[in-house]
Chains A and B, each alone.
Chain A
């Protein structure tokens, strides 16, 4: 019944490790996003995929690599984790504009790098 789901909810790992976060939406939307929310609660776009094609890449270090196996899934893989990567990562989805454009967010993944 959940519209946008993410796994895991919490991720604690050490510097230098590689980790992945998974996202799935059952809304039938064509576009999916990854956002990062820092310790000051500021929410910033990282990537967007439309029908499995990358359409937004907002100057994110290339240690971050999104992958969309189909339009209902968007995963985020992070290589060589750094302390500054600690944040909450949100997945979101929307219909193609101009159909509606409001984005629906998942519950977030809190990543802590030690």
Chain B
């Protein structure tokens, strides 16, 4: 069964204090690893898809990286508006099943 574990559960940073969020996964053939951002009371917002080990993607202060066992979401010089829950999900390549298996998320708080 596909599994996703995210750590830490919660992270509090000072504005400008860079850090990384971890997503460890086991999947029967990875089709894609996805990062989402979720603000309170809203639906998850798509950030990145990574397809193979060594791949990296960037968007503003965020950079996502992927290895065969885990992914990191690096946040450089975060701002208070980066405060949200960050969700990691995997999609398996096997069959026509396109479901995403999510981790429990990491709640990030950035203090001004």
Question: What is A's interface to B at a CB cutoff of 8 Å?
Answer: 4, 31, 33, 40-45, 48, 50, 55-56, 58, 90, 92, 94, 96-98, 100-108
Chain B nearest CB, measured from A93 CB (Å): 11
Given contacts A97-B31, A98-B31, contact A103 B43 (CB under 8 A): no
B34 to chain A, nearest CB (A): 6
Q: Which of B18-26, B62-70, B72-80, B94-102 contacts A (4 or more CB under 8 A)?
A: B94-102
Q: Is the interface of B mostly helix, strand, loop or mixed?
A: strand
Q: Is the CB of B99 within 8 A of A58?
A: yes
Flag if B99 contacts A42 (CB, 8 Å): no
Within 8 A of A (CB), among B37-67: 38, 41-46, 49
Q: How far is the CA of A44 from the CA of B99 in the complex (A)?
A: 9
Docked CA distance A79–B70 (Å): 40
Interface residues of B in 6-34 (CB under 8 A from A): 31-32, 34
Knowing A90-B44, A101-B31, A102-B49, the reply to whether A55 touches B97 (Cβ < 8 A) is yes
| B109 in contact (CB, < 8 A) | no
B111 beta carbon closer than 8 Å to chain A: no
Q: Return the contact of B102 from the options A43, A96, A98, A106 (Cβ within 8 A).
A: A43
Which listed residue (A31, A33, A55, A104) contacts B46, Cβ 8 A?
A: A104
Interchain residue pairs with CB less than 8 A apart (21): A4-B43, A31-B98, A41-B85, A41-B104, A42-B102, A42-B104, A44-B102, A45-B101, A55-B97, A56-B99, A97-B91, A98-B31, A100-B49, A101-B32, A101-B91, A102-B46, A104-B46, A105-B43, A105-B44, A107-B43, A108-B42
* B42 in contact with A107 (CB, 8 Å): yes
Asked if A43 and B87 make an inter-chain contact with CB atoms under 8 angstroms apart, the answer reads: yes
- B residues within 8 A CB of A44? 102
Q: Chain A's nearest CB lies how many Å from the CB of B35?
A: 10
Contacting pair A41 B105 (CB below 8 A): yes
> Is there an interface contact between B46 and A103, defined as CB atoms closer than 8 Å?
yes
Instruction: Indicate which residue in B34, B46, B89, B97 contacts A56 across the interface (CB closer than 8 Å).
Output: B97
Contacts of A108 in B (CB 8 A): 41-43
